[in-house]
Chain A
């Protein structure tokens, strides 16, 4: 594994026009602190990213000046809050190129997004003997809900295997698809391996069997382009807190046609058109899926985080991240005993590694 000394000379990504990393660091107040006398370095963005000043200020402005309940009151503040909240939904629509904003349901995060689809679609349309396909590299959030559904309905969970580099075996996927397949749920990008899955291809093949597909975009959203119309996915979900927004923000997109046929997720206020003790008529999209008062400040923060990503430039950020990934991979691989996990050809800036004979928790404590 060890390479010659010459290759160990740092070759950091080149500075380029309109991309000033030091200036971007200054956008994040958390990085101003020192820990053990050294400037804070934060590498756990795949779990949860930090929040830039612009997003903090937008959330604070809402709390200071606009806070009220949405969709209900006819008073000044309620209208301000509703406008800001729905404005964030419009930003999400453009962010993922959804046909309509009402197809973008606000949820607490990708986990809730997947659970919403499992309850709303899965429990209504999937039954005994049916099959659900996921992949071997799913986050627990995209495994457990489907296991719960399979157990409840007597359906079967099928898993697309992967190779040693962490790439899905598409031939095996083809072999799993059949008339009993009723749903496919896969990650756009693996949280542990960084693999970018060929989701467009996965969706196309499922659609040949008339099977809807959910894409878990939690790792793609902060780093790459999302175009739900180009992908032709039926559902797409991501978390705000992995893309510079506060916790409690997130989105699940669904094709309106499917969202209309689905059961609601939770019952309560805001998701109804009319309620009598005999019958309730559900509200139109997106309110049908947003029972109760949502995380208004967080979702407005998500809108601001999308603005922030657009301002710093998503393409430029992606390019820089790619160079950092290559640099870090090269340097880590040069250390004896270090093994990089996940070496897919199509890979995002997620880097996992092990060190021979050292437990990951000891590495974590020592590097902290």
Chain B
């Protein structure tokens, strides 16, 4: 598989076309806004946290296929996870994207999120994949805004 088709896999294209949990969460008690000044991508992540557990999660905003699919799959991944588990996923996802975690040889909890491993070959697109994760991380930690710069 070429690097390009590894980046734009069918799953990613599907999530881009039909993003899951793509709406504002009315009863959210955590919210953060993520911004990538390089391309103008902007998204909001909403969390409903109860007893340190992510009960509901959603996002809205605009961006490229990578950022939208990544946000969509992020919401699926952290839903019903504990705060600690969500943070672990954030950490592992970030390290995978940076090329610091080899998902084929090292133990991790990423599951199908490993399809984003391909971004390590596209440094210019790294932030597209990680923006929603940084925003989710900021929301968990009650920061209002996050920028990839």
A359 & B8 in contact (Cβ 8 Å cutoff): no
A362 & B4 in contact (Cβ 8 Å cutoff): no
What 0/1 readout, one digit per residue, does chain A (337-368) give for beta carbons within 8 Å of chain B? 00000000000000000000011111001100
Complex CA distance for A360 and B39, rounded to whole angstroms: 9
B63 & A365 in contact (Cβ 8 Å cutoff): no
What 0/1 readout, one digit per residue, does chain B (1-29) give for beta carbons within 8 Å of chain A? 00010011000000000000000000000
In the complex, what's the smallest C-beta–C-beta distance from A311 to chain B, in angstroms? 36
Complex CA distance for A365 and B128, rounded to whole angstroms: 12
Q: Which residues of the other chain, B, contact A361 by a CB distance below 8 angstroms?
A: 39, 64, 66, 125, 128
In the complex, what's the smallest C-beta–C-beta distance from B69 to chain A, in angstroms? 10
How many B residues are at the interface, by size bracket?
10 to 19
Q: Which B106-129 residues have a C-beta within 8 angstroms of A?
A: 122, 124-125, 128
A365 & B39 in contact (Cβ 8 Å cutoff): no
Q: A359-B63, A359-B64, A361-B128 are in contact. Are A366 and B4 (CB under 8 A)?
A: yes
How many A residues are at the interface, by size bracket?
under 10
In the complex, what's the smallest C-beta–C-beta distance from A253 to chain B, in angstroms? 33
Complex CA distance for A211 and B64, rounded to whole angstroms: 44
B103 on interface, CB distance cutoff 8 Å: no
B8 & A366 in contact (Cβ 8 Å cutoff): yes
Q: Which residues of the other chain, B, contact A366 by a CB distance below 8 angstroms?
A: 4, 8
What 0/1 readout, one digit per residue, does chain B (38-69) give for beta carbons within 8 Å of chain A? 01000000000000000000000001111000
Q: Which residues of the other chain, A, contact B64 by a CB distance below 8 angstroms?
A: 359-362
What 0/1 readout, one digit per residue, does chain A (221-241) give for beta carbons within 8 Å of chain B? 000000000000000000000
Complex CA distance for A361 and B36, rounded to whole angstroms: 12
Q: Which residues of the other chain, A, contact B66 by a CB distance below 8 angstroms?
A: 361-362
Complex CA distance for A359 and B38, rounded to whole angstroms: 13
Q: Which residues of the other chain, A, contact B124 by a CB distance below 8 angstroms?
A: 365
Q: Which A289-341 residues have a C-beta within 8 angstroms of B?
A: none
Complex CA distance for A53 and B109, rounded to whole angstroms: 52
Complex CA distance for A361 and B62, rounded to whole angstroms: 12
What 0/1 readout, one digit per residue, does chain B (63-101) give for beta carbons within 8 Å of chain A? 111100000000000000000000000000000000000
Q: Which residues of the other chain, A, contact B128 by a CB distance below 8 angstroms?
A: 361
From B38, which residue of chain A is reached at the shortest CB distance? A361
In the complex, what's the smallest C-beta–C-beta distance from B116 to chain A, in angstroms? 14
Complex CA distance for A359 and B124, rounded to whole angstroms: 15
Q: Which residues of the other chain, A, contact B39 by a CB distance below 8 angstroms?
A: 360-361
From B122, which residue of chain A is reached at the shortest CB distance? A365
From B3, which residue of chain A is reached at the shortest CB distance? A36
In the complex, what's the smallest C-beta–C-beta distance from B73 to chain A, in angstroms? 17
- Chain B CB count within 10 A is highest, among A358, A362, A366, for A362
In the complex, what's the smallest C-beta–C-beta distance from A278 to chain B, in angstroms? 45
- Report which of A358, A359, A360, A365 forms a contact with B4, defined as CB distance below 8 A: A365
From B125, which residue of chain A is reached at the shortest CB distance? A365
In the complex, what's the smallest C-beta–C-beta distance from B43 to chain A, in angstroms? 13
In the complex, what's the smallest C-beta–C-beta distance from A38 to chain B, in angstroms? 13
Complex CA distance for A365 and B126, rounded to whole angstroms: 12
Complex CA distance for A358 and B64, rounded to whole angstroms: 7
Complex CA distance for A366 and B6, rounded to whole angstroms: 12
From B66, which residue of chain A is reached at the shortest CB distance? A362
Q: Which residues of the other chain, A, contact B8 by a CB distance below 8 angstroms?
A: 362, 366
Q: Which residues of the other chain, B, contact A362 by a CB distance below 8 angstroms?
A: 8, 64-66
Complex CA distance for A358 and B124, rounded to whole angstroms: 17
In the complex, what's the smallest C-beta–C-beta distance from B45 to chain A, in angstroms? 19
In the complex, what's the smallest C-beta–C-beta distance from A63 to chain B, in angstroms? 31
From B128, which residue of chain A is reached at the shortest CB distance? A361
Complex CA distance for A42 and B67, rounded to whole angstroms: 26
In the complex, what's the smallest C-beta–C-beta distance from A355 to chain B, in angstroms? 12
Q: Which residues of the other chain, A, contact B4 by a CB distance below 8 angstroms?
A: 365-366
From A359, which residue of chain B is reached at the shortest CB distance? B64
Q: Which A195-237 residues have a C-beta within 8 angstroms of B?
A: none
Complex CA distance for A148 and B53, rounded to whole angstroms: 47
Complex CA distance for A306 and B125, rounded to whole angstroms: 37
In the complex, what's the smallest C-beta–C-beta distance from A360 to chain B, in angstroms? 8
16 more A-B contacts (CB under 8 A) besides A360-B64, A361-B66? A358-B65, A359-B64, A361-B39, A361-B64, A361-B125, A361-B128, A362-B64, A362-B65, A362-B66, A365-B4, A365-B7, A365-B122, A365-B124, A365-B125, A366-B4, A366-B8
A-B contact pairs, 9 of them (CB 8 A): A359-B63, A359-B64, A362-B64, A362-B66, A365-B4, A365-B7, A365-B124, A365-B125, A366-B8
- Identify the A interface with B (CB < 8 A): 358-362, 365-366
The 5 lowest CB-CB distance pairs between A and B, nearest first, are: A359-B64, A361-B64, A362-B65, A362-B64, A361-B39
